Amino acid sequence: MTLPRRLAEYDSPEGAREYLEEYEKLHRKLSDRRERRLLEGFLRRTGPIATALDLPSGWGRYLRFLQARGARVIEADYSGEMLRLGRSLFQEHPPAGFLRALGHRIPLADRSVDLVFSMRLNHHLVEPEVRRQHLREVFRVAARWAIFSYFDHDSLKNRIRRLRRRLGSRRRLKSTLRRAEVRELAEEAGFVLRADPMLFRIGSGHRLVLAERR
């Protein structure tokens, strides 16, 4: 599927509803449970958060999670339909605001929120420089903390995918970053990585990162 077609589907009412229903599947529930456990550990280390940008927010999967830590949350996403769905789902305790934005072009000032929270976006960005620019934007906007995920180039899952490609598989390669590359981008922006565990060592190539501004 081409990127324009993928974005068009994501920005459709059907795509927004499908993403909402995706997390009712068993494998997604297991992944979500592990992800939240790691993220809870991250937020114990950060302490209270006054303001947070959740990008991509989708329909608001992590809104309550962030609000429970005291944060005033801006929900941001490329998909207007996702944001509309979020408005309808969280009318009783809405976020501080909604913002339509791309992850590699965030229309906010430098250091404008305490925490930038960007889960499960980077591996969807096809161009390597766009993946790097996404992290630069995360670091630019974050005043204190950044939490994000990326697909590790050297993960077991990605190594298997590369091997299968050499043996004739037509499955596309993952959109990845190297661990050292992420650390370098963080250091250039004045951040230090405090934690970067794998979501699962077997079966997932996603690495979750907690970074703190020096």
Give the span between the Cα atoms of 186 and 205, in whole angstroms. 20
Q: List, in sequence order, the alpha helices (H) in the chain.
A: 3-10, 13-22, 26-46, 63-67, 80-89, 128-141, 156-166, 179-188
Predicted local confidence at residue 137, as pLDDT: 98
> In Å, how far from its chain's centre is CA 143?
18
Tell me if residue 70 falls in helix, strand or coil.
coil
Predicted local confidence at residue 107, as pLDDT: 98
Predicted local confidence at residue 165, as pLDDT: 85
Give the span between the Cα atoms of 110 and 190, in whole angstroms. 13
Give the span between the Cα atoms of 88 and 59, in whole angstroms. 9
Instruction: Tokens 């081409």: give the residue.
Output: 2
Predicted local confidence at residue 18, as pLDDT: 76
Domains, the chain, ordered by start? 3-213 (3.40.50.150)
Give the span between the Cα atoms of 151 and 162, in whole angstroms. 14
Candidates 122, 152, 131, 197; CA nearest to 162 is 152
Predicted local confidence at residue 85, as pLDDT: 94
Predicted local confidence at residue 4, as pLDDT: 63
Q: What sign does the dihedral 101-103-109-115 (CA atoms) show?
A: positive
In order along its 214 residues, the chain shows pLDDT tens digits of: 455 666 677 667 776 677 667 766 766 788 899 999 999 999 999 999 999 999 999 999 999 999 999 999 999 999 999 999 999 999 999 999 999 999 999 999 999 999 999 999 999 999 999 999 999 999 999 999 999 999 999 999 999 988 888 888 888 888 999 999 999 999 999 999 999 999 998 889 999 999 999 9
